[in-house]
Each structure stands twice: as structure tokens, then as C-alpha cells.
């Protein structure tokens, strides 16, 4: 038992570290895209597409990677994903045209698929009562987004943007080797099944899966979209330089990743439904306040016209982002607590589907942020869009869980407690 517990903890540490590096690589264009945008003269929509390309491919590969993890084991699949990403990352430093960045961004996206490998790999090493915490700790690798914002500006300022892909490729290769040395394999964790690829996707017929896809597209897709967008937002809205803008953007990215472990613990203690419900309400309030654009009004008073200027200062804006990032971190863990509890024998396939939905949300949102900005000229329109998605989640949660709650309320107390 102690030996198994030791292996489980070793797997958790190795997987979390590796996922952190993979996520940092996956979010590279959040910072790297800014000098590329200037070099190529891109508009906001084109920048959004560039930043989102790795997210698209990272989302699309999650389902097959999750299923392969069920079949072949997480160790070999995780290792293969990291090795396969090294060369595309290194080649980005040699790209000169927009289409080249887009194509390499698609290949780079494979790093983002590591989430649907590590989640079932880690979860199967822990008992049910600790799965939420274990998956939350692993998911804290999302903090790789903040790592990019801390590291990338300094590398770009010192050696130029072309140096960053080379540094990241070397880091990814070293990480893959360390993961192989310190991780472990348990053949008993592999799903023994003769079902076809399409057969394993039968889980898509379950309405719960689609519900969790929608929730995750908000808490993870919204997190990814904002993580890619906020550095440029600070530069354009407040006139900060790249280093300061990335540092302030990390105030959203860091809690949005690290505190996912807290979300796993809270979900284990209070249940996935209650935690997700409150997460959505906190996001609703934050996005409502963040969506209000800077406004100047003329108010007529008895003493004449009074000019009123309404705008969020950088400190208030950053504080609201921090709260939203914290809530989204907890929500990412609570959604996967649902999956770990309700689909214990098919975590890989289900987490792949839900991760796909979240990744597609992270792909679509930066493009829509750019398109809305080009169309309206209002930067806070990004938060208006996110506010709308949270409203949809709250309505869906209310009507999805109300029948079960009402039925439980009508049961005798003794039966309900049992």
C-alpha cells in the first residue's frame, strides 16, 4: 500500500510539472503574438486567430488522446505528446509569414492535448474520495500560462522574439525525459475493451456530458481566451509596456491555474454542484463589472452641467480579474469532479470530450474578442461576451438540477438521508 501511495504521489508530481510546461508552451502566443502582430501589421481579428490556433488543435486532439490513454496508459501517451511537439515549437523562430505561424501554431497545439492524457492517468492512481484533489493538483498546471507571462517578456527583451521558441523547445524536451524517468506505469489502469473508436464515443449520447461541456467551455474556455487576450488588452487599454502588461495579466492566469487544486478539495468536501453553482455567480458579477466600458456623461444639475467619468482603474480592473481567475480555477476542478464521480470507467473518453469543448471555447473566444473589437471599437466587449456565456450556464444549471432537487425534497427525511 505504501509503495502504491508513493508511486501515486510521484506520478502526480511528474505529471503536474510536465503539464505546467506543456501549458506554458501552449500559451506561448499570448506574449509572442504581440511582437509578431507588430511585425506583420495584423488587425485584431488576425491576432485573435493567431493566438487561438494552438488552442484549436489542442482541443481537437483531446478526444483521441483521452481514448488512447484509456487503452495504452498515460505514461507512454504523455511522453509521446511532448516529444512530438518539440520540433514544431523550435521551427516557430524561423517563421516569417502569417500562414507559417498559423500552420506551426496548429502543430504546437498538441501540447494542449496533454490535459486529457494526464487527467485520467492521474485519477486512476487515487481512490474516489481523493480524485477531486488529485485532478485539481494536476490541473494546477494551468499556471503554465502565468509562467509564460513571467518568463517570455524577459527572453524577448534580451534576445528577441525568435529566441523564445528555441528556449521553449529545449525546456519541453528536458521535461519529457524527466517525466519518463520519474513517472510509473500500472497495466491494471488500462481499460480492457474490444470496442471500436466510435463505440467508445457512445458516451456522447449522455446528456450530462453535453451539460459539462457547456460549463467547461465557460470556466476553461473563458480562462484560455482571457489568458491569451489580457496581455495585449493591458498594452492597448492602459498603455503599459510588454513586461508590465504580462505581469498584470499573470494576476489572472496564476490563480486561475494554481488554485485549481483548491477547487478539487472544495469539490470533494461540498460536492460538484454547489461549487460550480457559486463559481458561475461569482463570474457573473465580475464580468458584469468588467464589461462596462469607460464612459463620460454630462449630468444636468441645478448649478449647471456636471461631467462624470466612469472607468475602471488598472488596480480595480486587475483585482476583478484576480477574483474571476480564482473562481474559474475552482470551477475547472468542480466540473471534472462531476466526471470523476459519474464516469469512473470512462474518464479518458469523457474528459477528452469535455476538454474538447473547453478547448474549442478557448479557440473561438479570442477570435470573437478581436472581431467584436474591430466591429465596435469597444475593448470591454470581450467581457460582455463572457457575461452572456455565464448567463447561459446559470439558466442551464437551474433547469437541469431543479427536478432532482425537487424530488429529493419530497422524499421522507430518513429515506433522503439514507
Helix axes 74-91, 98-108, angle to 10 degrees: 170
- The pLDDT of residue 414: 40
3-state DSSP helix/strand/coil % of the chain, to nearest 5: 85, 5, 15
DSSP structural state of residue 345: T
Low pLDDT (below 50) residues in the chain:
1, 193-195, 404-418
- The pLDDT of residue 49: 94
- Interatomic CA distance for residues 336 and 379, integer angstroms: 32
Task: Spell out the residues 6+ positions from residue 301 whose beta carbon is closer than 8 angstroms to its own.
Answer: none
Q: Contact at 8 Å (CB) between 220 and 358? A: yes
DSSP structural state of residue 307: E
Structure pTM? 0.80
Q: What is the per-residue DSSP string for 95-130?
A: --SHHHHHHHHHHHGGGGGGHHHHHHHHHTTS-HHH
Q: What is the per-residue DSSP string for 228-242?
A: HHHHHHHHHHH---H
Nearest to 35, CA basis, from 51, 20, 19, 59: 51
Backbone angles phi, psi at 310, to 5 degrees: -115, 120
- The pLDDT of residue 200: 54
Task: Spell out the residues 6+ positions from residue 84 whose beta carbon is closer than 8 angstroms to its own.
Answer: 110
- The pLDDT of residue 411: 41
DSSP structural state of residue 294: P
The model's pLDDT over 101-111, given as tens digits with 9 standing for 90+, comes to 999 999 999 99
The model's pLDDT over 13-51, given as tens digits with 9 standing for 90+, comes to 999 999 999 999 999 999 999 999 999 999 999 999 999
Q: By three-state DSSP, how is residue 308 classified?
A: strand
Q: Contact at 8 Å (CB) between 61 and 110? A: yes
Q: What architecture is the 2-184+204-417 domain classified under in CATH?
A: Up-down Bundle (1.20)
Beta bridge partners, 123, equal none
Which uninterrupted H or E stretch holds 296? strand 295-301
Q: By three-state DSSP, how is residue 309 classified?
A: strand
- The pLDDT of residue 314: 94
- Interatomic CA distance for residues 320 and 318, integer angstroms: 5
- The pLDDT of residue 297: 87
Which three cell numbers, joined as nine digits, stand for 152? 517570455
Q: Contact at 8 Å (CB) between 189 and 124? A: yes
| Residue whose cell numbers read 506551426 | 104
- Interatomic CA distance for residues 169 and 24, integer angstroms: 11
- The pLDDT of residue 199: 56
Nearest to 88, CA basis, from 57, 47, 65: 57
Amino acid at each position: 500500500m505504501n509503495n502504491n501511495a508513493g508511486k501515486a504521489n510521484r506520478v502526480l508530481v511528474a505529471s503536474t510539472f510536465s503539464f505546467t510546461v506543456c501549458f506554458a508552451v501552449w500559451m506561448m502566443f499570448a506574449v509572442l503574438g504581440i511582437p509578431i502582430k507588430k511585425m506583420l501589421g495584423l488587425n485584431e481579428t488576425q491576432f485573435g486567430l493567431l493566438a487561438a490556433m494552438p488552442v484549436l488543435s489542442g482541443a481537437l486532439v483531446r478526444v483521441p488522446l483521452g481514448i488512447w490513454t484509456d487503452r495504452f496508459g498515460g505514461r507512454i501517451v504523455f511522453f509521446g505528446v511532448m516529444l512530438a511537439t518539440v520540433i514544431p515549437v523550435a521551427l516557430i523562430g524561423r517563421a516569417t509569414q502569417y500562414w507559417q505561424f498559423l500552420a506551426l501554431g496548429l502543430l504546437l497545439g498538441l501540447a494542449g492535448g496533454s490535459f486529457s492524457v494526464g487527467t485520467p492517468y492521474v485519477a486512476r492512481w487515487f481512490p474516489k474520495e481523493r480524485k477531486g484533489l488529485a485532478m485539481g493538483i494536476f490541473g494546477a498546471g494551468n499556471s503554465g500560462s502565468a509562467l509564460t507571462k513571467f518568463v517570455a517578456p524577459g527572453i524577448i527583451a534580451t534576445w528577441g522574439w525568435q529566441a523564445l521558441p528555441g528556449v521553449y523547445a529545449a525546456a519541453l524536451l528536458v521535461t519529457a525525459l524527466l517525466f519518463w524517468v520519474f513517472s510509473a506505469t500500472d497495466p491494471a489502469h488500462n481499460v480492457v475493451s474490444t470496442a471500436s473508436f466510435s463505440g467508445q464515443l457512445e458516451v456522447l449520447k449522455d446528456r450530462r456530458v453535453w451539460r459539462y461541456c457547456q460549463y467547461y467551455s465557460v470556466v476553461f474556455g473563458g480562462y484560455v481566451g482571457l489568458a491569451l487576450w489580457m496581455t495585449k488588452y493591458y498594452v492597448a487599454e492602459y498603455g503599459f509596456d510588454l513586461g508590465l502588461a504580462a505581469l498584470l495579466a499573470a494576476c489572472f492566469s496564476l490563480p486561475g491555474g494554481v488554485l485549481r487544486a483548491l477547487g478539487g478539495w472544495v469539490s470533494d468536501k461540498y460536492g460538484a454542484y454547489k461549487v460550480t453553482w457559486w463559481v458561475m455567480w461569482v463570474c457573473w458579477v465580475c464580468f458584469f463589472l468588467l464589461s462596462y466600458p469607460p464612459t463620460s456623461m454630462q449630468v444636468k444639475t441645478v448649478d449647471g452641467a456636471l461631467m462624470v467619468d466612469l472607468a475602471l482603474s488598472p488596480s480595480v480592473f486587475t483585482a476583478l480579474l484576480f477574483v474571476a481567475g480564482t473562481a474559474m480555477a475552482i470551477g475547472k476542478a468542480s466540473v471534472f469532479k462531476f466526471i470523476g464521480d459519474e464516469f469512473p470507467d470512462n474518464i479518458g473518453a469523457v474528459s477528452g470530450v469535455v476538454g474538447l469543448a473547453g478547448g474549442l471555447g478557448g479557440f473561438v473566444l479570442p477570435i470573437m474578442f478581436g472581431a467584436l473589437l474591430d466591429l465596435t471599437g469597444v475593448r470591454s466587449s470581450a467581457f460582455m461576451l463572457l457575461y452572456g456565456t455565464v448567463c447561459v450556464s446559470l439558466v442551464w444549471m437551474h433547469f437541469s438540477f431543479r427536478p432532482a432537487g425537487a424530488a429529493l425534497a419530497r422524499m421522507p427525511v430518513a429515506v433522503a438521508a439514507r
